[in-house]
């Protein structure tokens, strides 16, 4: 408050002289004053853009690289420049100048070599996107057209590839005037046609990253432009070889409760995408949901069989469902069949525990020599097979002692030695192991020290 009073007491002409002197030597302050009070001329825009370049120069090394330690200050400076200038320009109705400055910052962040471990590049790009949105909302039709053309012409080779999505996403998602929607439709048609002629090879990579994204975008545009359902379906029909297009059909049928039609497309898709395990599993799961909901018991049981024995299982959900369809005797046969199947590989341990096949679970763990897995199931196995679990840990520590050679490993080994003491006759067994180590490895002072610290 005292400082405010002092400043208020400075004569206006002297205060102006101070501000003039400071602004003359500080480009940032000068630009801020001019942006707020002066007419925005092309020369002033050049100064603002130079300020963007100066930020890049200030925080980068001679090779133009911004290292990890300067990255946050660099991105913060760019965001501050946007936040200080764009609202002022918009307040004064300089919309295209604001757009020009945002583009300059986006170009800077999109072409700067930077250690982006903290994701600062995305923070600046997100800020640019939000200012593009704000500017677009305030534009008249002519200015919208100018922005549209800019995004249309800067989709490729303007910024680093992963930031190009900001440009293409804005173009597709943010312009909703009918005339511009139709221009986007035409633009997508040209892309699809070009891709078909030059690039499309039919493989999954090209399908997903090329054709499909443009085709689905066009379908959404058709919906926004109120194309008839028939027109949209006819367009989709041309590209049903792509799974994403059939997925759109499936979602539509399910939302309209046209279950027979959805089932037909899902069955068709299982055949068309038979070489894509993830997709066929997904289709099968959707069929199971429909059959269960529609009380189609025969189809439900058949699809569960397919899901469990043909699709890789990542949890017990469908196995539990399948088990309910069998008697105890019948299930034992199915259980063995599943354990022999490759689809059980991800969840064999969980499945064996769920089925309370504890001896087989322990043998499986022993076969794979994984003490980390044993740790996960120790609580359960210890209750049923305490001696066997203890002996497995004993074998582990004896084996590891022959190949550990640093204090960290010794300390880790002692934790397992102490674990053994909590089993039947474990204290004597652990002590005997420790005494053996003292004789065999007495020239390992770090190991002897860790034994002492562990109480052996």
354-372 confidence digits (pLDDT tens): 999 999 999 999 998 889 9
Nearest to 383 by CA among 423, 339, 415: 423
pLDDT tens digits, residue range 96-113?
999 999 999 999 999 999
Report DSSP letters for 53-109, one per residue.
HHHHHHHS-TTSEE-HHHHHHHHHHHHHHHHHHHHHHHHTT-HHHHHHHHHHHHHHH
Please check the confidence at residue 250 and state whether its pLDDT lies above 60: yes
pLDDT tens digits, residue range 418-427?
999 999 999 9
The percentage of the chain sitting over the pLDDT mark of 90, rounded to a whole number, equals 80
Tell me which of 139-143, 239-243, 278-282, 308-312 is least confident: 239-243
Report DSSP letters for 384-407, one per residue.
H-HHHHHHHHHHHHHHHHTT--SH
- List the Cα angle 345/309/204 in 5-degree steps: 80
3-state secondary structure (DSSP) of residue 61: coil
DSSP β-bridge partners for residue 113: 65
Q: Write down the pLDDT at residue 199.
A: 59
Mean pLDDT score of the chain: 90
Name the phi and psi angles at 285, rounded to 5: -65, -40
DSSP β-bridge partners for residue 66: 114
Q: Which two tokens stand for residue 360?
A: 């087989």
Nearest to 408 by CA among 363, 382, 447: 447
Res. 40 pLDDT band, cuts 50 70 90: confident
Q: Write down the pLDDT at residue 34.
A: 64
Q: Write down the pLDDT at residue 285.
A: 98
Residue with the bigger pLDDT between 256 and 37: it is 256
3-state secondary structure (DSSP) of residue 256: coil
The percentage of the chain sitting over the pLDDT mark of 70, rounded to a whole number, equals 89
pLDDT tens digits, residue range 175-222?
999 999 999 999 999 888 888 776 554 444 544 566 888 999 999 999
């Amino acid at each position: 408050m005292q400082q405010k009073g002092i400043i208020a007491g400075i004569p206006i002409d002297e205060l102006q002289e101070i501000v003039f002197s400071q602004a003359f030597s500080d480009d940032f302050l000068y630009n801020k004053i001019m942006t707020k009070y002066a007419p925005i001329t092309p020369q002033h825009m050049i100064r603002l853009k130079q300020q963007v370049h100066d930020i890049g120069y200030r925080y980068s090394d001679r090779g133009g690289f911004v290292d990890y330690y300067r990255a946050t200050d660099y991105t913060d400076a760019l965001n501050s420049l946007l936040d200080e200038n764009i609202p002022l320009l918009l307040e004064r109705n300089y919309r295209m100048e604001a757009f020009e400055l945002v583009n300059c910052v986006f170009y800077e962040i999109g072409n700067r070599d930077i250690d982006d471990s903290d994701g600062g590049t995305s923070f600046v790009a997100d800020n640019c996107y939000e200012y593009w949105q704000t500017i677009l909302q305030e534009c008249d039709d002519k200015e919208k057209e100018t922005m549209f053309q800019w995004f249309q012409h800067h989709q490729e080779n303007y910024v680093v590839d992963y930031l190009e999505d900001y440009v293409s996403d804005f173009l597709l998602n943010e312009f909703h005037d009918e005339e511009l929607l139709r221009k986007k439709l035409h633009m997508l048609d040209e892309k699809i046609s070009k891709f078909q002629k030059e690039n499309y090879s039919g493989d999954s990579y090209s399908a997903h990253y090329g054709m499909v994204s443009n085709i689905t975008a066009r379908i959404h545009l058709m919906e926004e432009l109120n194309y008839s359902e028939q027109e949209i379906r006819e367009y989709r029909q041309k590209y049903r070889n792509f799974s994403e297009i059939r997925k759109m059909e499936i979602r539509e049928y399910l939302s309209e409760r046209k279950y027979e039609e959805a089932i037909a497309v899902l069955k068709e898709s299982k055949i068309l995408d038979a070489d894509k395990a993830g997709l066929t599993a997904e289709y099968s799961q959707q069929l199971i949901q429909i059959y269960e909901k529609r009380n189609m018991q025969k189809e439900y049981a058949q699809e569960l069989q397919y899901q469990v024995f043909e699709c890789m299982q990542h949890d017990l959900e469908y196995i539990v469902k399948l088990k309910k369809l069998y008697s105890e005797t019948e299930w034992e046969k199915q259980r063995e069949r599943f354990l022999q199947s490759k689809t059980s590989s991800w969840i064999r341990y969980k499945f064996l525990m769920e089925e309370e096949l504890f001896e087989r679970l322990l043998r499986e763990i022993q076969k794979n020599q994984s003490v980390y897995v044993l740790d996960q199931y120790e609580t359960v196995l210890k209750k049923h097979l305490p001696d066997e679990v203890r002996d497995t840990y004993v074998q582990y520590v004896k084996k590891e002692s022959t190949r550990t050679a640093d204090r960290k490993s010794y300390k880790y080994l002692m934790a397992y030695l102490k674990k053994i003491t909590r089993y039947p006759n474990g204290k004597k067994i652990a002590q005997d192991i420790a005494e053996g180590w003292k004789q065999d490895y007495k020239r390992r002072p770090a190991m002897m020290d860790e034994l002492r610290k562990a109480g052996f």
